[in-house]
Amino acid sequence: MKKFYKNVGYGYICFAYSKNEWIAKAIAWFMRSQWSHSFITIPPVIDNEMAMEAAGSGTQTILFDKGYRNNKNQKYEIYQVNYSKDKINKSIDSCLKKLEMPYGYLEYPWFIWRFICKSFGKDISGQNNWSTKDEVCSGLVESFLSRLPCYNLFAKFGKNSICPQDIYEIVKANPHIFRLIEYKN
């Protein structure tokens, strides 16, 4: 099922799942999530829709169509954020400072530990991740939203302890702030 808009705006929150990548499957399984990735849209470059994400090669910008819309292995949902363009611009500007930041692979062991703890009925999402130096996708999205300011939405989470599914649940619980505008299954 697909619902496309001609042009995606910028300052939107996106959730994705790569259907053929083992790391995406592992992330989704460990976090009990339908999503393995999250990212934001940024202003277009020469009429090309753009996204900013923390991925395997670090924090980067990519062409949205190539990476997601026209990629048959991607499923995604995009949510518009109900804040002024001025606030969104300032938040994106702040996130641009993270470009080329290394990817936070060292954060993964903590997320595995979180999964193990949750399996035994203990929620440690309020604790800080053991590694907070680099960036993972959900950390980038949290950083973007926190500057809007949506920081109170993340009050129960520790530093670098939020995953795409956590952000997705926050988005779904706050329809006055977030509106689904595009999806592809």
**What is the enclosing helix (H) or strand (E) of 179?**
strand 178-184
Residue 89 pLDDT exceeds 60: yes
Q: What is the CA radius of gyration of the chain?
A: 15
Position 84 pLDDT exceeds 80: yes
Average pLDDT over residues 89-108: 91
* pTM to 2 decimal places: 0.91
Burial 32-65 (b: 16+ CB within 10 A, else e): ebebbbbbbbbeeeeeebbbbbbbeebbbebebe
Assess whether pLDDT exceeds 90 at residue 145: yes
Whole-number average pLDDT of the chain: 89
pLDDT band (50, 70, 90) for residue 6:
low
Domains and CATH numbers, the chain: 2-184 (3.90.1720.10)
Q: What is the DSSP letter of 122?
A: -
